[in-house]
Amino acid sequence: MEAEVIPAILVKTRGELLHRISQVRGLVKEIQIDIMDGVFVPNKTIGLEELMDLPEAVYEFHWMVEDPEKWIIRMKGPHMHLVHVETLQSAGSLGEVEAAVRKSGGRLGFALNPETPIEKLLPFVPQAKRVLVMTVRPGFSGQKYIYEMEHKVRKLRQLFPSLDIEVDGGVNNETATHAYSSGANLLAAASAIFVAKDIKGAIADLKKRAMEGCSHER
């Protein structure tokens, strides 16, 4: 599967959000927006009101929030909604999330924190269009990539050969190679893109380095 780079935006104001969207819109197939409520993770970002009437694009909303269905239902369109399995306490809560995604017109994916065993994710995969393996502890950008999470990616790729598998956290020109060689075909990156002087070039470099992982063994 060919590697795709997904710019990840973690900001606290609508102005910052719109600026970063403008920097990458048209350069990639999807744009990730990180949403944190200060409860599920120890940080708070933009809220629902700042997400209204965004520029036209396909977005991947990474919901690092409690009760994600209450947020998802407000975001209409063919977007990807990544919900943390850690927030799904019962089959009923999964049903509520699935209903919210259907009503929004979006697609459902699941995310997994570093400390959560992969076994907790596996029962949800049949309902997923995508899974995301966190390669940092969620909450803040600029953290170092946790190489130990690659065993989860390898296991998922072994069990689900055609599944879209994404990694998020610490992705740069070095770690992209390792992530892709482990089985991740989607690479969410923030600092590696937005601190670059040439954003288009940075995205191309990440994809090129990832594809070099085809023959790379860690």
pLDDT tens sequence across 178-217 = 999 999 999 999 999 999 999 999 999 999 999 886 544 4
**Residue 201 vs residue 143, higher pLDDT:** 201
pLDDT surpassing 90 at residue 128: yes
Task: Tell me which of 53, 164, 168, 198 is the catalytic residue.
Answer: 168
Domains contained in the chain, CATH given? 4-215 (3.20.20.70)
What pLDDT, on a 0 to 100 scale, did the predictor assign at position 139? 73
27, 37 Cβ separation under 8 angstroms: no
Average pLDDT, the chain: 93
pLDDT surpassing 60 at residue 36: yes
Task: Name the residue among 49, 44, 42, 38 with its Cα closest to residue 14.
Answer: 49
User: What average pLDDT does range 97-120 have in this prediction?
Assistant: 97
Please tell me the distance from the alpha carbon of residue 15 to that of residue 35, in angstroms, as a whole number.
15
Q: Which of 3-7, 134-138, 142-146, 165-169 has the lowest mean pLDDT?
A: 142-146
What pLDDT, on a 0 to 100 scale, did the predictor assign at position 91? 60
Beta-carbon contacts of residue 15 (< 8 Å; ≥ 6 apart): none
Tens of pLDDT, residue by residue over 70-105, are 999 999 999 999 999 999 976 668 999 999 999 999
Please tell me the distance from the alpha carbon of residue 154 to that of residue 118, in angstroms, as a whole number.
11
Please tell me the distance from the alpha carbon of residue 140 to that of residue 145, in angstroms, as a whole number.
12
What pLDDT, on a 0 to 100 scale, did the predictor assign at position 138? 84
Catalytic residue status for 53: no
**Residue 157 vs residue 89, higher pLDDT:** 157
Name residue 92's amino acid: G
Catalytic residue status for 205: no
Q: Which of 1-15, 135-149, 169-183, 184-198 has the lowest mean pLDDT?
A: 135-149
Side-chain half-sphere exposure of 83, counting CA atoms within 13 A: 31
